[in-house]
Structures are given as C-alpha cells and as structure tokens.
Structure 1
C-alpha cells in the first residue's frame, strides 16, 4: 500500500464589473476535507496537514501540484493555505 496525498485548495470565484472575487474560507476548505474523509470509509488517513503555497491560482501555474511555485522580490504575490490529506487505500 503506497501513501497518497489529496489536496483541498480554496476555490476563488471570479469577480464581476462591480464586485471583486471571493476566496473560500479555511473553514469551508476544512469542511470539504472532512466530508471527503467521511464519504470514503475505505481509506486509512495517515496525516492531515496545512500547506502554504504561493500563486497557485495564477494562469501559468498548475495549482497545488505544480513543482515550481515562486514569488520574487518586490512584486506582489498571493499565498494560499490548503489542507493536504495523506492516506492509504485499504
């Protein structure tokens, strides 16, 4: 049995002309992770952790699975806290 990771990333809604986009709260992301764990009784959860990653919602990034996430000097960057569940399939 190998160890598998599943990431729960906060969703970012697009804003409109007079409304800015909204990011899911950490509690909403945690609720999604807990629901997924409850709905999959065949898995054995090994660890749950929070991970902070930069710029995962940028168009040239692959989200939490991107192997090269970066930020530079004085430019603006956005950091996101995600929930990562490590588990084994029973």
Structure 2
C-alpha cells in the first residue's frame, strides 16, 4: 500500500492584524523529512515539493485540505511530501 507523510514549515510566530506570521526555514522541513526517512527505515517511492495557498489559515485543514480558499491576500506555502510503501498487515 502507498501512503504519504507531509513535512510543512511550522509557524514560529502567529500573525495578527498588524503583522504577518513567521515560519521556520524550508530547510528545517527537509531536515525533519530526512530524519524520519532514516529513523523509520522508510521504503521511499517518491519525494516532491508541493506548493499550495493558505494552508495555515484558521479555517483550513493544512496540507491535506482539498479546498483551499484564495480570497483576499493569499499566501503560498511549500512543503515536502514523501510517498512511501507502507508495511502490509498480512
């Protein structure tokens, strides 16, 4: 069975009416992805960079949300998706 795991830059500081939120560097997401692959001995199928809008807005569900709104000012975010072969329960 094929599954995926996402590694998105984490919010360092929430934004408000007067300031934008700040996020960790993309390289930190890559570091977490590499550590996960190495520590769990993952059978990687593919690794990709995905770019989507507004994944950190309060009404959005993050990297797996199927309907991301782009009204008003949009902020585009990139994250790493690792596709891997999951161990079968059989």
What TM-score, normalized to structure 2? 0.84
Displacement of 1:14 in angstroms is 2.2
Q: CA deviation at 1:21?
A: 4.1
Structure 2 counterpart SS, 1:7: strand
- Partner SS state of residue 28, structure 1: helix
Unaligned runs of 5+ residues in structure 1 are none
Give the match for residue 36 of structure 2: 36
2: CA distance, partners of 1:22 / 1:31? 18
Question: In the TM superposition, what whole-angstrom CA distance separates every residue of 1:37-75 from its partner, at most 9, and x where no partner exists?
Answer: 01111x210000000010000000000011101213xx2
Which has a greater percent of strand? 2
- Equivalent runs, 1:68-83 vs 2, <5 Å: 68-72=67-71, 75-83=72-80
Structure 1 pair 77–21 and aligned structure 2 pair: CA distance change class (3 A): closer
Contact 2:10 2:23 in 1 (8 A): yes
C-alpha change, 1:20 and 1:58, in structure 2 (3 Å) is closer
What's the counterpart of residue 27 of structure 2?
27
RMSD: 2.0
Q: How much has 1:13 moved relative to structure 2? A: 1.8
- Count of aligned pairs between the two proteins: 85
Shift of 1:20: 6.4
Q: Which runs of 5+ in 2 are unaligned?
A: none
